[in-house]
Amino acid sequence: MINFYISENGVLVPCAKREDGCWISVINPTPQEVDELIEVYGLDSGFVKSSIDEEESSRIECEDNQTLVIVDTPVSSVDSEETRLFYTQPLGIIITEKNVFTISMQKTQLLKEAIDGNIRNLRPAFKTRFVLQLLLRIAALFLLYLKQIDKISSAAEQELHDAMKNELLMQLLALEKSLVYFSTSLKANEATIEKIFRGRVIRLYDEDQDLLEDLLIEMKQAIEMSNIYTSIVSHMMDGFSAVISNNQNIVMWRLTILTVILEIPNIIFAFYGINTVDLPLPYTWFPIVLTAFLTGITALILLKWKNK
């Protein structure tokens, strides 16, 4: 799907066809649309194919007056088992002499916010500033999702004391995997942004320097937060395993006590239920009283031993 957007008074509005200074958003393109981007709009075929490759890593390169910037954008979803997942999706940004193209295999939160006008003062005609604003919002989304991961892990920690459920374990495993994805993507994005900062690939203007510095600060903060949360979740996983093991030991201990206590009546009534002579006090009340007494004494001893 190919859509065109132009800025009017700082607000993006759709337009019917390509115009100079417009933003061309490409989401999950068909093979015909890929051919159109290459043949009609003159985009480099390698740039287009790299942008739709979900395994492509963050990088920046130039070719024939076109600049390709590939960055990883954060994505959040919920699977069929109600487990919250976080991962990254590559976004290709191709800068030409007249337009900025973004190519993605799915409509991410970044693109949704840009199209809905939630990112202020987006002006595709100012191509460098437009790209930096998108990158800055990507860094902000990483921080937002990292905070969500922290909240989910904190909620899981509250349930950790009596945890015996696989759902908690699967959620923590998903968070740990998500943080690995985030950490790897953030470091790759940082390297790409530092190349932009040096000004050798994309032409930088004086008014964009503050924005670029803010972008670097946000990205470094996201990397630091990712490393901290990775360490926290990793230690939480170790504690989670220890808690589950301890809870299982407690359950097995209780079952063992119950088994020992229930075995006493079986033994006594088995003796008094067979045709054996010379048993002491062969009356109905005696085995009942003896069973109650021995059961109580055994239970008291086992419980006191457990509490030591």
CB 72 within 8 A of CB 182: no
- pLDDT for position 15: 84
How confident is the model at residue 277, as a pLDDT? 62
Any idea where the domains of the chain sit in the sequence? Answer: 2-247, 248-306
Q: Mapping DSSP to helix (H, G, I), strand (E, B) and coil, where does residue 201 land?
A: coil
**Amino acid 281: pLDDT:** 65
Instruction: Name the pTM for this structure.
Output: 0.74
Query: What's residue 45's pLDDT?
Result: 87
Q: How far apart are CA 141 and CA 131, in angstroms?
A: 15
pLDDT at 267: 76
* Amino acid symbol at 114: A
Tell me the C-alpha distance between 165 and 163, whole Å.
6
- When pLDDT is averaged across residues 71-97 and rounded to a whole number, the result is 85
Q: Which residues of 120-158 are buried (b: 16+ CB within 10 A; e: fewer)?
A: eebbbbbbbbbbbbbbbbbbbbbbebbebbbebbeebbe
Please give the average per-residue pLDDT across 267-279, as a whole number: 69
What does 265-286 look like in DSSP terms, one character per residue? Answer: HHHHHHHHHS--SS-SS-SSHH
Question: pLDDT averaged over the chain?
Answer: 81
Transcribe 151-184 into DSSP letters: HHHHHHHHTGGG---HHHHHHHHHHHHHHHHHHH
pLDDT at 294 > cutoff 70: yes
**Confidence grade of residue 170 (pLDDT, cut at 50, 70, 90):** confident
* CATH fold label, 2-247: Beta Polymerase; domain 2 (3.30.460)
**Per-residue confidence (pLDDT) for residue 242, from 0 to 100:** 74
**pLDDT of 196-249, one tens digit each?**
877 667 777 777 777 888 888 888 888 888 888 888 888 777 777 777 777 777
Give me the pLDDT at residue 65, please. Answer: 84
